[in-house]
Amino acid sequence: MSMNREQKRAAQKGGQVNPDGSQTAVRDRKAPTQHLKSERTKPMQFLREVRAELKKVAWPTRDEVRRYSIIVLAALIVFTAFVFGIDFLFERLFRFITDPAAEGALAATVSQVSAFAASGY
Angle at 25 between CA 20 and CA 31, to 5 degrees: 155
- The domain locations on the chain are 60-120
pLDDT for position 39: 76
Question: Among candidates 27, 21, 18, which has minimal Cα distance to 3?
Answer: 21
pLDDT for position 65: 98
Say if residues 17 and 24 touch (Cβ distance below 8 Å): yes
Residues of the chain with pLDDT under 70: 1, 19, 21, 24-29, 31-33, 35-38, 100-108, 120-121
Q: Is 108 helix (H, G, I), strand (E, B) or coil?
A: helix
Q: What residues contact 44, with CB distance under 8 A and at least 6 apart?
A: none
Cα–Cα distance, 84 to 63 (Å, whole number): 31
Q: Is 36 helix (H, G, I), strand (E, B) or coil?
A: coil
Cα 96–chain centre separation: 40
Question: Among candidates 106, 85, 82, which has minimal Cα distance to 95?
Answer: 106
